């Protein structure tokens, strides 16, 4: 299987698996960046440089998208576990819609709280 074949989907529910994989890769990339950020704690100048970039209003959109990736990945993972255990198998579309709505609501709420924390 080639790399692009990993992102192909063959059913209506397959698209959520594709997004699950993409958000997983984004979260893995963020984890690597986060670990690099933590290693900068040893050097004060580098730490202050990273902090000035990441704690700014311009960086808010990236943090908001990170919340969306994390919430979607987590809720979709729970949905997959529920289906794999054999629960609500006949209501797959309804569970998918509920999961999507919960992800959007949690994303909007988390982004709103973060926006309030940034302040003026």
Q: What is the pLDDT of residue 9?
A: 64
Q: Which residues contact 7 (CB under 8 A, 6 or more apart)?
A: 18, 21, 22
Per-10-residue mean pLDDT, the chain, length 120: 65 77 94 86 84 82 94 94 88 91 96 84
Q: Is 19 exposed, middle or buried (0-12, 13-18, 19+ CB in 10 A)?
A: middle
CA distance 25 to 22: 5
Q: What is the pLDDT of residue 70?
A: 96
Q: What is the pLDDT of residue 17?
A: 82
3-state secondary structure of 86: coil
């Amino acid at each position: 299987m080639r790399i692009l074949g990993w992102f192909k989907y063959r059913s209506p529910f397959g698209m959520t698996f594709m997004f699950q994989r993409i958000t997983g890769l984004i979260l893995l990339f963020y984890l690597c960046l986060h670990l690099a950020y933590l290693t900068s704690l040893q050097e004060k100048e580098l730490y202050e440089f990273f902090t000035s970039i990441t704690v700014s209003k311009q960086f808010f959109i990236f943090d908001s998208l990170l919340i969306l990736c994390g919430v979607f990945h987590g809720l979709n993972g729970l949905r997959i576990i529920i289906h794999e255990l054999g629960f609500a198998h006949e209501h797959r579309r309804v569970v998918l819609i509920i999961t999507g709505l919960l992800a959007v609501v949690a994303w909007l709420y988390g982004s709103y709280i973060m926006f309030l924390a940034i302040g003026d």
